[in-house]
Chain A
Amino acid sequence: MMFNLAAFSLYDLAFIIIAGITVTAALGVVLFKNIIYSALSLILAFLGAAAIYFQLNSSFLGVIQILVYAGAISVLIIFAIMLVMNRPAGESNLSSPRTREVFTGATITAMLFTALIAVIGFTQWPIGAKPGPDNSLGLLADLLLGDYVIAFEAAAILLLVAVVGAIILAKGGENK
């Protein structure tokens, strides 16, 4: 790839910028009072995650992250918000006024955060192993459509059934 060990500082700089944007955007999702801003900042967080995948030389994951999350899921989220929003945009994402719920949420978040930090800290990361395969897409395709083809097709049929069900629910069953 383009970046090697001599460019250590440049690589780090890029990571710090991308990670900073991602974390700020993720905070924005929670802290913005306007829920449309939250949704847009979620898109930015998705894009930041995709950029980190690209930097880790896993471009396939990065592209899929953009295609599925930033391109499709986010449009779904924005449409859902537009359809169900029933109060002024400026106060559509207020945190709960009741302290008990805030306390519960904060406790669960703190526990999850501690657990994540612990997992990251105690895992032996295989540093210095050989770099990932250059053609990860081909290997992935061989696995998905070879060894795991049944599971792959089952997931596809499940999604298809969900789509058909959603259309029937949305259209209503009156005109048979």
Chain B
Amino acid sequence: MEALFINLAEAFTGWMIRLGLNPAWAESILLLVKWIIVITIITVNIIILIWLERKISAFFQERLGPNRLGPFGIFQTVADAIKLLTKEDIVPSAADKLIFKTAPMFFIVVAVMLYTVIPMGKDMEVINLNIGLLFFISVGSLSTIALLMAGWGSNNKWSLMGAVRSVAQMVSYEIPLAFSLLGVVMITGSLNLQDIVAAQDKWWFIVLQPIAFITYFIAATAELNRGPFDMPEAEQELTGGAYTEYTGMRWALFFLAEYTNLVAVSALMATVFLGGWQGPWLPSWLWIIIKTYAVILVFFWVKWTFPRIRMDHLMSFSWKVLVPVSLGNILLTGAGIYFCRWMGWC
């Protein structure tokens, strides 16, 4: 069970080479197949996630949630997806058409690119990059541009307002986001996510870096534009922010990309702080799924229990609380590492 997918991949490559294909081409085709699998998993997983979020929000608000289509309403999202796919594609006449149409595509491409480096099991990842963590942070920062494109291209003041808010928020929260991961990098001495997982065989980094875990969680919530930091969307005051003018499948692409980002960030949290694919009894690829879902549930829990935070509070919280705390954590970690070496424990 453990090496199921690795054996499958090797068998596939071997089969292609036996068909007379150049090994390099076989590798490239394998890479393409890996991507197709990742994208398929993301899209199918979104259907479950949206249903789950609606059920959980209903539970928090003492409602029933979707309950008509299928057992426990589980096919509701499928019906919604079909509805969105068949809806008329409206492009506002005053919109900047090219930017308006490219923005959702750019957003989803950036979101999917995050999965390149996430270890989905022992020796299982699309590419084993030796600076995987840095890659994740830098590619994650690109999604601001997609939102800015959407806000500008819509040619609507609420859209632009939402885009400007989300960019201000994401640029500010990127700093504590990166700083809180630095503690883990200092302990591991590597930016390779597989090395980070391997370093957690005794202690998970949530034990060694509790402050970093909390600051990362808060910064990630803001980076994902999720509640209580969902000021950029703020349905009640901005009518949906950057997504206001989007309908049908284009809007659904934004929605899909947001959930894709959510899963990617949760998987990264599971990898960096919760021991990644390590765990007893079950195969490694199942452990990462379980841990990712556990983090996602916490994200849902936070979103549906806390009220939205005001914009100025949001910004001052990042710059005056999260940045100093995460900087302090780096200092503390450095001192801790030296103390540990001085005592001869590590």
Contacts and interface: CB of A to CB of B under 8 A. Distances in A.
B141 A6 contact: no
**Interface of chain B, helix or strand or loop or mixed?**
helix
A70 interface: yes
A52 to B, nearest CB: 16
Contacts of A59: 129-131, 135
B145 A75 contact: yes
A15 interface: no
Interface string B13-27: 000000000111101
Given A67-B138, A71-B141, A3 B24 contact: yes
Contacts of B135: 59, 63
A43 B167 CA distance: 16
Given A36-B152, A66-B139, A67-B137, A60 B145 contact: no
Interface string A69-96: 0111011001100100000010000000
Contacts of B99: 36-37, 40
A37 B137 CA distance: 26
Interface string A23-41: 0000000000010110010
Contacts of B171: 72, 75
A44 to B, nearest CB: 10
A6 B24 contact: yes
A64 interface: yes
B131 A40 contact: no
A162 interface: no
Residue from B23, B138, B144 with most neighbouring chain A CB atoms (10 Å) = B138
B69 to A, nearest CB: 41
Contacts of A60: 131, 134
Contacts of A134: 130
Contact of A72 (B98, B130, B141, B148): B141
A139 B266 CA distance: 31
A74 B142 CA distance: 10
Contacts of B24: 2-4, 6-7, 10
Contact of A137 (B25, B130, B144): B130
B28 interface: yes
A82 B138 contact: no
Contacts of B130: 59, 134-135, 137
A70 B142 contact: yes
Given A63-B135, A67-B138, A137 B191 contact: yes
Contact of A67 (B28, B141, B152, B167): B141
A36 B144 CA distance: 15
Interface string B86-111: 00000000001011000000000000
A63 B148 CA distance: 21
Contacts of A75: 144-145, 148, 167, 171
B144 A6 contact: no
Contacts of A36: 96, 99, 152
Interface string B116-154: 000000000000011100110111011011001100100
A63 B96 CA distance: 30
Contact of A2 (B27, B142, B145): B27
Interface in A36-68: 36-37, 40, 43, 59-60, 63-64, 66-67
Nearest to A65: B138
Contacts of A40: 99, 145, 149
A133 B129 CA distance: 14
Contacts of A64: 138
B144 A71 contact: yes
B286 to A, nearest CB: 27
A53 B152 CA distance: 30
A7 B138 contact: no
Nearest to B134: A63
Interface of A: 2-4, 6-7, 10, 34, 36-37, 40, 43, 59-60, 63-64, 66-67, 70-72, 74-75, 78-79, 82, 89, 134-135, 137
24 contacts: A2-B28, A2-B31, A3-B24, A4-B24, A7-B24, A7-B28, A34-B96, A37-B99, A40-B145, A40-B149, A59-B131, A63-B134, A66-B139, A67-B137, A67-B138, A70-B145, A71-B138, A71-B141, A71-B144, A71-B145, A72-B141, A78-B152, A79-B167, A89-B96
